[in-house]
Amino acid sequence: MYRFDEIIGATLEEITVGDAIYVDAADSDKVLEIKGLMLAFDKGRFVIENPHTLIGVSSLREIIGSSVVEAFSNDDGISLKFNNGGILLVSLRDCDFVGPEAASYYPKQGEIIVFN
């Protein structure tokens, strides 16, 4: 289990939907387009490409303004628990990958973290 300390204490400010475009690493003409979520925190951006689920809230909008109180990942997924009781789970199961990365975190300071 990896304790995702870099995001603990971060407050979620905004959620947007975006497109990621990947060109096949084997240099073929295959282009992979993925709809992803970008969660803008005061400490950085968390980009989600794999399927996600919510527990304790009915929509992502309900966690805007909330802070992360607990965060970790294991072989099955990434878990972010917010101070309003909401939990965001991102799948890391092989069968759920839609692109080369499940998620990534771009802190305002420090190293980028890629979950794949």
Q: What is the pLDDT of residue 18?
A: 79
- Which band of pLDDT confidence, cut at 50, 70 and 90, is reported for residue 23? low
pTM attached to this predicted model: 0.88
Ordered by start, the domain boundaries in the chain are: 2-115
**CB-CB contact of 8 with 71 (8 Å):** yes
- Which band of pLDDT confidence, cut at 50, 70 and 90, is reported for residue 35? confident
- Which band of pLDDT confidence, cut at 50, 70 and 90, is reported for residue 33? confident
- Identify how many contiguous H helices and E strands the chain contains and give both numbers: 0, 10
